[in-house]
Amino acid sequence: MMQSIGLPLLTSQFPMGLAAEELGADLGRPPFWSGPTWPDHLAWGLDSVITAVRLMLCLQPIGASIVARTQLERWSSNLQFNSGIDQQPGESTVAWLNRLWAEPGVRPPDGVETPVGELFADLSELLHGRGRLMPLVWLDVADVTEMPSSEHVQMLEAVGNALIVSLSHIRTCLATAAEQKGYEVLAETINRIRLVAPARSWLPDLRTFLWPLLPMFIRQPGVEGPLGAMATAHRRVISAMQAGREPAEPSELWPAFSFGAHRFRALLAAQHAYQWERKLLGDRFEEQGVENAFTRAVLAGEMAAVVARWLRQDPDKRSPADALAVCASGLRSAQWLWLEDDNRGMGCLRSVIEQVARARTWRLRPERARKTEANPNCTPRDWIEGAGWRRLNLLNRALGEFAHGSTKTNWNVARNALVAIQNTEDVEQAQYTGRTHALTAMIFILSVECAAWADTFGSHLGDAYRRVVRIDDAQADQAIEALLNRAWEKRQTPLR
């Protein structure tokens, strides 16, 4: 079922990727990199759709929604620039997006009937741990053995529709770029590209396409071989078409080739990063470092999911249950994207830091939590302060920059804030470890909160979990206090 939902979104990948290459895009570029040229940037938009589809196929709604929303914001910014339709003072983002994309002259996204602003609102609500798409999170963390219901399918289609909106504008941008180069036939061809069609072939074994790029995975010959074969077939079809020949491979397979070529480039980038880190750290390089971090993330995420399921049984605890469920889903996506050097993993951590603060507020200050929940305009900062973490606002804001994709955001500057928060004397190495520190800090904070919530069901449960993850409450409090102080000390660090 999941392939029938996700693979149709890859229909246009091959023809639009070919068009981007004809316009000068480097299709050997790592998928996470937006590149130095406009054609590269458009190709990155195509890669982002594949990234989101992969997360959808893995039932990771937080990660898929982060990618879908940042792309929606990115291409809305481009449309705003070209149309001159600005957001007016007092106008909500939802209303502005509805007006922007409904403007005469804007090509309607293929088959998408929901107003764009409403799609944006649905994604945003999910990332804040509420709204009509929340059942997708529970399908991920608690009901994963169940078949998605028709309601789940409709919710996944909302994420898919947001991706179609972005694809529609990427198609327009590619056609415009072709016209500006005088490639009239190419422009006409691009404008006729169908964005979505029912999948006409299935991938018999998705594991190679979906598994996280851990070192133990990327070194397996059974991984590089199949993905390399898909990338080779993808290049073979492109070469045939560029030479004016009919490709030997049927067109039903082209979306799968694009998917495989994307994953092969991600694999090569991960292998290169792994070797580069080995060279950078020298004797300090830890062979099992990434796997150990992954294990800690799994233990934290799975415990968050377990506690969320326990809390869900009490109608009065649905809000902290939702919060911990989002933490479980968001942390997994954060680490999977981090493994691929994708900045949007930090956007997933924005959901994690907000929701772990929400859970903590419910545990320590339930009355304040009820008032915050009742406020329709509550912000992540409200939960951060409710949790007693006001000094952590810089980390919250920095991660928040990665959760958005408009031209107002600057991920490079936000990354500098993550670098500044670290506790390290090696300034040179710190430039490369800001995101890693943010990830490990959130794994630790979530683990501490899960242990505290487990105590509410029985101290023996919390103590057992602490022994597994090797957490001592006194030392944990000291470590979190030190993080709060560092973040407060660097609170004037610019983010844009």
pLDDT of residue 273: 87
Q: Write down the pLDDT at residue 358.
A: 99
What pLDDT does residue 276 have? 84
Residue 132 vs residues 36, 128, 137: alpha-carbon distances, Å: 38, 12, 11
Residue 422 class from Cβ within 10 Å (0-12 exposed, 13-18 middle, 19+ buried)? buried
Q: What are phi and psi of 48, to 5 degrees?
A: -65, -35
Q: What is the pLDDT of residue 470?
A: 95
Cα(247)–Cα(152) distance, integer angstroms:
38
pLDDT tens for residues 435-477? 999 999 999 999 999 999 999 999 999 999 999 999 999 999 9
| pLDDT for residue 416 | 95
Q: How far apart are alpha carbons 371 and 350 in whole angstroms?
A: 22
Spell out the domain ranges in the chain.
2-197, 286-490
| Alpha carbon separation from 482 to 97, 291, 452 (Å, rounded) | 41, 26, 19
Query: Residue 284 gets which letter from DSSP?
Result: G
In this prediction, residue 1 carries a pLDDT of: 76
Give the H/E segment covering residue 31. Answer: none
Q: Which pLDDT does position 144 carry in this prediction?
A: 73
Residues of the chain with pLDDT under 50: none
Count of Cβ atoms closer than 10 Å to residue 198 Cβ: 8
Contacts of 65 (CB under 8 A, 6+ apart): 123, 126, 127, 133, 159
Please return the burial class of 72, using the count of CB atoms within 10 Å of its CB with bins 0-12, 13-18 and 19+: buried
327 with 352: CB under 8 angstroms?
yes
Please name the amino acid found at residue 426.
D
Please state the pTM of the whole predicted model: 0.96
Distance of alpha carbon 53 from alpha carbon 48, whole angstroms = 9
pLDDT given for residue 289 in this prediction: 81
From residue 349, give the alpha-carbon distance in Å to each of 57, 359, 398, 422, 440. Answer: 20, 15, 10, 16, 11
Cβ–Cβ < 8 Å for 310, 328: no
